[in-house]
Copies of this chain bind each other. A is one copy, B any other.
Amino acid sequence: MEKLVVQKYGGTSVGSIDRIKAVAKKIIDTKKSGYDLVVVVSAMGKTTDELLSMAYDLNEKPSNRELDQLLATGEQISISLLAMALESQGYNAISLTGPQCGILTDPIHKKARISNINPQRLLSELEQDKIVIVAGFQGINEISDVTTLGRGGSDTTAVAIAAALQALRCEIYTDVEGVFTADPRKVENAKLIPKISYDEVLELASLGAQVLHPRSIELARRFNVPLMVKSSFKNSNGTEIMEVDTMENVSVRGVSLDDNIAKISILEVPDKPGIAFRIFSELAKNHVHVDMILQNVNRNSVNDISFTVSQDDFKDAVKICQDIGFEIGAQKVIYDQGVAKLSVVGTGIGGSAEIASKYFETLYNLGINIQMISTSEIKISCIIDKALSEEAMKALHDAMGL
């Protein structure tokens, strides 16, 4: 639909009666500019916490099915309130829950994936010139139970609807102004990036600069939905995320730092085929996501295997490595929680010796040791000492001319 814009407002954007009024004003401004509108909304700021607290008072391990039934009320409250706010200004609005909106999902409660959107109701309301307010984060499974989409759920709802209706673009309103060349809380002269490719923003997201959940970015890329990230509170242009025409030019987009990680090493692993496979398949089976891997080949037919995981998975990962390390006859397991991953991201970076050498030189000048390196088409990441990582990020941001 040529005139259709999908907007998404998060929990803090609709966290109070006054903020709901402010969001209504933003929506009306867009409507007045001649656009059709579908607006996806999250639950009001604290609603989810209050509901969860009651749930856990009654049951330490409530079933996921009942948790979804409970939590889905959060968005149902915010969509109906927002629709009322629009009605009070004389605009035709209608709120739709995930189920009413035809958002079909698989049966997995608490982390359902959207399988299809039946846009019939959406289209019929839009044809009546209504502003359609949709509950983010939720859908309906085959047996008409409410499911929730898990992390990044509301962003995913917005992108999925934009894809299903072939919207002009999908605008994500959030508490930051857009995607920056580095974390603006840590790097003073970080700049807003006006335009960035899906791949680059995906790398930045997975490297810790999480303005959007990778899941919604991937969905936008797959269906080629132009994404805008903007501030709910300030009037600024934000960041536009789209397919970039040429991949030939090397351009550095930003630097990012992830210090929520840990490094684990299994020492003196016998050098036999299948050993590394056993370790990493066991970790995968236990849902531990391994990021960077380094294998040092020693003499005496033994190897040291090191890898990084997120702090969330750290305890599980150490336990699994100790068990399996004993089985396979490794010498011991050591770990280091004092590390961070510093990355530089941009189209064509992976093939550019110039960027890499500039990066390494920056760390060398600061006397920082590189513990691990990983590269892809569009990024270079190094594991370094966490204590020095913020200083390194600032220097790298300057060195890259951002």
Contact = CB atoms under 8 A, between A and B. Distances in A.
B58 A17 contact: yes
Contacts of A60: 88
A69 B80 contact: yes
A87 B66 contact: yes
Interface in A84-108: 84-85, 87-88, 94-95, 97, 99-100
Contacts of A252: none
Contacts of A20: 58
Contacts of A121: 143-144
Interface stretch (A71-79, A303-311, A329-337): A71-79
Contact of A59 (B58, B69, B85): B85
A17 B57 CA distance: 7
B84 A66 contact: yes
A205 interface: no
Q: How many copies does the complex hold?
A: 2
A76 B72 CA distance: 9
A88 B67 CA distance: 13
B65 A94 contact: yes
A19 to B, nearest CB: 11
Given A54-B17, A58-B21, A145-B100, A76 B69 contact: yes
A39 to B, nearest CB: 14
Contacts of A143: 121
Interface in A16-49: 17, 20-21
Given A21-B58, A58-B17, A121-B144, A81 B85 contact: no
A168 to B, nearest CB: 27
A96 to B, nearest CB: 9
17 contacts: A20-B58, A21-B58, A55-B80, A58-B84, A59-B84, A62-B88, A66-B87, A67-B80, A69-B76, A70-B76, A70-B77, A70-B81, A72-B76, A99-B144, A100-B145, A121-B143, A121-B144
A63 B88 CA distance: 9
A163 interface: no
8 closest cross-chain pairs (CB), A and B? A59-B88, A70-B80, A73-B73, A59-B84, A69-B80, A62-B84, A58-B85, A66-B80
